[in-house]
Amino acid sequence: MKNKLNNCYTYSSLKTTMRFSAALFLIFNLTMANSFSQEKVTLEVENAIITEILDEIEALTDYKFIYQLSVFNFDKKTSISVKNKPIKMVLDMIFENQLEYEVIDKKVLLKSKKIVVPKEITILEDIEIQKRTISGNINDSDGNPLPGASVLEVGTENGTSTDFDGNFSIELENENAELQFSFIGFKSQTLTVGSSDVMNLTLLTDASSLDEIVVTGYGTQLLRNITGSVATIDSEVIENRSLTSAGAALSGTTAGVFVSQNSGEAGQDEISIRIRGVSTLNNSAPLIIIDGIEGDINLLNPNDIESISVLKDAASGAIYGSRASNGVVVVKTKRGSRNQPAQFQYSGTFGSSSAVKLPDVNYDPVYNMNFKNLARTNFGGEPIYSPAQIAEAGSQNTWWSDPMNDLVQTAPVNVHDLSVTGGSENINYRVALGILDQESIATGGNFFDRHNLRVNLDASPTDKFDIGTTISLSRNKQVGTQQSFNSSNLQGPQALGVQLQNTLGPIYTADGELAMITPATAGFNVGPGTGRNNNYGYANGDYYNISQTINNVLLNAYIAYKPIENLTLKATGAIRNRSTFNNIFNKKVRNVFPDGTSYFAPDSDRNRSNESIEFLTETYFVTADYNIDIGEGNLKALVGYSQEENSISNFLASRDGHLTDGIQVLDAGQPTNQLNNGSETGFSVQSLFARVNYNYKGKYLLEANIRQDGSSRFLNDKWGTFPSFSAGWILSEENFLSSSNTIDYLKIRGSWGKLGNSNIPNFAYAKALSLSEGYSFGGTIVPGVGQSSLGNENLSWEKTTSSNFGVNLVLSNGLGIDFDLFQRQTDDILFNLPVNVLTGFTQQFTNAASMETNGWELALNYNKNFGEFNLQLGVNMSNAQNVVTDLNPNITGGELDRIFLGNGAILGEGYRPGAFWGFESDGIFNDAAELSSAPDHSLMGSEVGDVKFIDLDGDNVITLEDRTDIGVDVPEFTYGFNIFAGYKNWDFAAIFQGIGSAQFQGTFELFKPDAGGYNTANLWEDNWTPQNTDAMMPRVWAGQAASPSDVYPSDFFIWDRAYL
C-alpha cells in the first residue's frame, strides 16, 4: 500500500469514545459521498503512470487518496483526456471499473471491488451450503485502527481491505483457510482460521521498513533515499527500557555510537556520547538537536521522544556546519495527529537501583595494620603499628566492621508519565507530564526529582498557513548530604567507605557522639583540616545540606506559508533558558577523641554558599523549501538563514559563622567574612545554508549541502564555509536485480564533506585582563589590573574533512545488513599549546594539531514473524582508530613535538590521542639470578620482588627510550546487540552494549598497595615476599611513585576495562 504521508490522513488513534448519533453520522457520510460523485475535474494527461495522475487530481481538488499497491497496477501508464467530468467517472476510466471508493472527510480509500461469485446451488437433501464469513478489526500496538490494511485468503485471489475504523469482513472460499494480514510499515501476519468467525489482531511495526521517515537536518527523508550515514531508533525501543536519562537510549542500539554513564549518583548519570571515536583534542561531544533547536538530551523525558536520528558523516550533518564536526543527534518529540480523538495515557514504573560493583577491599583491621607495616619495612622503614595496637585491634568487637554496607543502599526509583494526545481537522496537540523520583544509592538522605511538562501544538488556520509551538518546562531538584553530587569522585560513598580510620575504632562514644581516633592510632593524619573524619556522619546526613535546582524553559514557535504549490516558507524562533541554583551548607558536628577532646567536622565553622548560573539562548532561523517533479526525477531545494545568541552569567556569595544548624540561610551568617563574585560572557553565531536533493527514477540519488558560519569567537577570520556531497544508487531497482528472489533492497552510497569547530572559550582571541591583581606601593597592597592570557587574534576554524562509503542490504529472509567505511581528517585543531616561559605565560590557544580517524561499522538486523510471535534481533559493531598526525606545526615531528599530560598520557605526532605512555612489563623479579640476567634496571633501582620491564630497543639497558604506547582510555572497538520479542500483548526486550580493548590507569588506594589511609584492596593479598616468591603482585610499598615498580608509569598498572 502506498500511503501519501505528507498529504493525507492515515488513521485515528482510538475509536471515538463519544460519537454523533447514527443519523447525523450517516447524513454526513452520504453528503461527502454525494459531493465526491458530483465534483468535476479537467485532465489532459498522456502516457503517464497512474500514481502521477492521482497526484494531479489531489492538486486540483481537496481529496487525498489512500490505497494499497496490491489492488491495482499503479505503475501502469495510461492517457486520459476529460473536461469537467465527475471524479468518480474519471477514476472508473483510470481503473477500468475494477475499484470502488470509500469517502470520509475528503479522504478516498481505493479498494478492490468485491468479487461476486455466482451461487452454485447443489441440492443435497434440500440443504443449501453457505460460504463462511470472517469479520474483525486490525490495529497497531497502541490500539490505533489501521485503515486500508490488506486481508487476503492465502492461495486465492480473494481479499479485501479494512475501513477507516480498521474493520473488515471477508467471505471465505475454502473451509480450512489461512488469512494474511498486511499494512505498509508493519509486519505481515498469516493466521489459520479457527472455529470463531471473529478475528481481531494487532500488527507490529516493521523496524526495518525502508519507507520509514527519518528526521534529518531541517527536514525529513525516506530511509530508502538517504545517501549519508544515518541511524535511527524509534519510541518503542526507548519506552520499553524504563530509562531515567534520555541519552542512555542510544546505548547498544546504534553502530558507531558509544554511550557511557560516568556516575551512578541519582540525577547525575553524566551521560557521555561519542560518535565514531574522537575527532578533536577539544570536546568531542556531538551536537544535540531537539525539535530543531539545540538542547540537552539529559533534561528530556525519555517518554516524550518519538525518534532519535544519529547523523554520523559530514554529508548528513553538514547542514549544521560548525556544530556537526562530532556528529549530530536529532531528537523528535511526540506530537498529536489530525482527526484524532483525545487519548489519555498513563504509565508507571517502580524499580530500584543498586551498585553493580563495589571496591573489593579487606576491612579486617589486623590484616590492614600488618600490611601497612610491611609496606614500610620492605624499604627499610619503621612499622607504624605496634604489636600492642595490632593485638588490641584483634580483640575488639565494637569497632565499625562494614562501613560500605552503611554508606551504600538499594534505592527506589519511581517514574510516572501522563499524556493526552489528539487533534481535530486543523489542529493537533500533545500535552505530557513526567515525574521522576529517584533516591541515591548513597545513604544519608540523597535524592533527585525531575518534573517535565511538554506541550506540542500544531495548527493549520488556512490551506496555506501552518503554525505551531513547543513549550517545554523541566525542574530538576537534587538534595544531598555528601560533599558533592558526583559519586565518581573521591568523595563519593565508595571512597568514604574504604577509608582506614572507619575500621580502627567505634562509631559512637559512650555518650552517643561520633567517635574519632587520633592520628597516632591511625598512623596517618586524621581529624581537623584533613578531611578524614568519622564517616558515619555521611550515613546519617549529619555533615552537609546540599541542593541543586535546575529550571529549564524552552519556548519554540514556527509559522509556515505556502505561497505557491511545492514551495514552503518557514520561520522559527526559540528561547531557551537554563537557571541553575546551587546551595551548600556545612554543618558543625562534634567528633570526639578517646581522651574526651573534640573538634568540629566537616569544618571548624558553619558555612553557607549560594550560586546562581543563568544560561540564555535565542535562536532564529528562516527556510525556503521547494519540491518539484521534473520528468522522471524529483528535485528538492532548501535555503536558509539562522542566528543564535548566547549569554551566560553567574553569581556566588557565601557567609560563615552561623549560630546554629537550624537556620541555614545566607543572612544568618556573619557579615565579617562574607565573599561574593560574579561574571558574565556570551557568544553568537550567524549562518547561511543550502541543500539540494535529486532523485531520478527512485534509484539514482544525489545530495549537496553548503553552510557558511560566522562566529564571535574569532576576531579576524570569523567566517567558515563547509560543503558536502553525497550520492546513492539503489541497485535493487535495476532490471538485473528487481526480479531477485533473494534481495529485496540493495543500495550503495558515498559521501564527502567538510565541517568546522569553534569550541573554545569565549574571547580566547583577546588578551584577557584580571581586575583583581594586587600591587605593592610603599609596602601597601593596592588593587590593580594585569594581563592574564596571551590571546591570539589569528584564531580560526578547526576543520574536519570526512568521507564515507556504505552499503545497505535487505534480504528476502528478513535479514538486513548495513556496512560503512569512513575516514575523518581534522586540521587546525584549536589547542592550548605550551609557550616560552619568557612570555610570562605557560600556554596559548592556537590552530595547531591534526588528527586522523579510520574505521568501519557493521549492523545486522533480523525481523521475522512466526504467526502472532514476532522476533527482532540486532547486532552492531564499530571500529574507529584515532591517531595524532601533528601537534605543533612549528616543530618538525620527533620527540620535541609531544607533550605529557598530568595522568602520564602523551600527545604527539604518531600517537593515539591521550595514549598512556610508559614501560611494558614482564612479570616480577622472583630471585637474584633473574635480576642479574635481566637488562640493567638502574633507572628504577629495581631489586628482587619488583616489576621487571622490557628492553624494547635491545641495548640491554632500561632507559626512557623504552617507553611506548601502553593503552588508551577511549574505546576503539564498540559493539552491541539487542533482542525484541512480542506475542500478542506480551513484550520482551534485552539490549546489551560492550567495548573491546580499552584501558584505564590504576592510581590511588584501590590499585596501589598503600596510597595513604585506605583499607587494602584484595588484589594485593598475593604480594611478593621472601616467603612468597611466586606472587602475582610485586613487593608492596607506601605512597605514590615510591617504589621501583611504580616510579614510572607502566602497563603493570594499566587495567583492561572491556565489558559487555
Cα R_g (the chain), whole angstroms = 35
State the number of CA atoms in the 13 A half-sphere of 439 facing the CB. 14
Using DSSP, state whether 336 is helix, strand or coil: coil
Q: Are strands 64-67 and 107-112 parallel, antiparallel or unpaired?
A: parallel
The model's pLDDT over 670-728, given as tens digits with 9 standing for 90+, comes to 998 899 999 999 999 999 999 999 999 989 999 999 999 999 999 999 999 999 999 99
Integer angstrom CA distances of residue 137 from 150, 196, 201, 605: 12, 14, 7, 72
| Strand stretches in 943-1051, DSSP E | 947-949, 964-967, 973-983, 986-995, 999-1001, 1016-1017
The model's pLDDT over 450-488, given as tens digits with 9 standing for 90+, comes to 999 999 999 999 989 999 999 999 999 999 887 654 544
Segment 549-575 shows an average pLDDT of 94
Plot region of 791 (φ>0 → left; ψ -120 to 50 → alpha; else → beta): left
The secondary element (H helix, E strand) that includes residue 870 is: strand 869-886
Decide: 652 and 674 in contact? Cβ < 8 Å: no
d(CA 760, CA 713): 8
Question: What is the 3-state composition of the chain as percent helix, strand, coil, each rounded to the nearest 5?
Answer: 15, 50, 40
d(CA 53, CA 67): 14
* Closest listed residue to residue 539, CA positions, set 448, 413, 404: 404
The pLDDT of residue 400 is above 50: yes
**Lowest mean pLDDT: which of 126-130, 235-239, 743-747, 815-819?**
126-130
Question: In terms of pLDDT, which residue wins out, 797 or 246?
Answer: 797
Integer angstrom CA distances of residue 83 from 45, 61, 186: 12, 14, 40
Count of CB atoms situated within 10 Å of the CB of 198: 9
In the beta sheet, which residues pair with residue 981?
Answer: 871, 988
Instruction: Determine what percent of the chain is predicted with pLDDT higher than 90.
Output: 42
Distance of CA 923 to the CA centre of its chain: 41
Segment 339-355 shows an average pLDDT of 87
Residue 119 pLDDT class (50, 70, 90 cuts): very low
Residue with cell 573491546: 996
Distance of CA 1051 to the CA centre of its chain: 32
**Residues 6 or more apart from 724 whose CB is under 8 A from it?**
314, 315, 318, 704, 705, 706, 751, 752, 753, 754, 755
Distance of CA 714 to the CA centre of its chain: 30
* Closest listed residue to residue 606, CA positions, set 534, 668, 652, 519: 668
The predicted pLDDT at position 623 comes to: 95
* Mean per-residue pLDDT over the chain, rounded: 84
Distance of CA 348 to the CA centre of its chain: 23
C-alpha cell at 253: 542500539
**Residues 6 or more apart from 70 whose CB is under 8 A from it?**
1, 150, 152, 159
Decide: 331 and 289 in contact? Cβ < 8 Å: yes
The model's pLDDT over 586-596, given as tens digits with 9 standing for 90+, comes to 999 999 999 99
Domain architecture of the chain: domains with CATH: 2-112 (3.55.50.30), 133-202 (2.60.40.1120), 401-484+535-561 (no CATH)
Segment 144-157 shows an average pLDDT of 82
Q: What is the pTM of this model?
A: 0.76
Question: Computed from CA positions of residues 478, 479, 484, 485, in that sequence, does the dihedral angle turn out positive or negative?
Answer: negative
Residue 35 pLDDT class (50, 70, 90 cuts): low
The pLDDT of residue 350 is above 80: yes
φ, ψ (nearest 5 deg) of residue 222: -70, 140
d(CA 93, CA 247): 54
d(CA 186, CA 114): 24
Segment 252-274 shows an average pLDDT of 76
The pLDDT of residue 511 is above 50: yes
Segment 67-85 shows an average pLDDT of 78
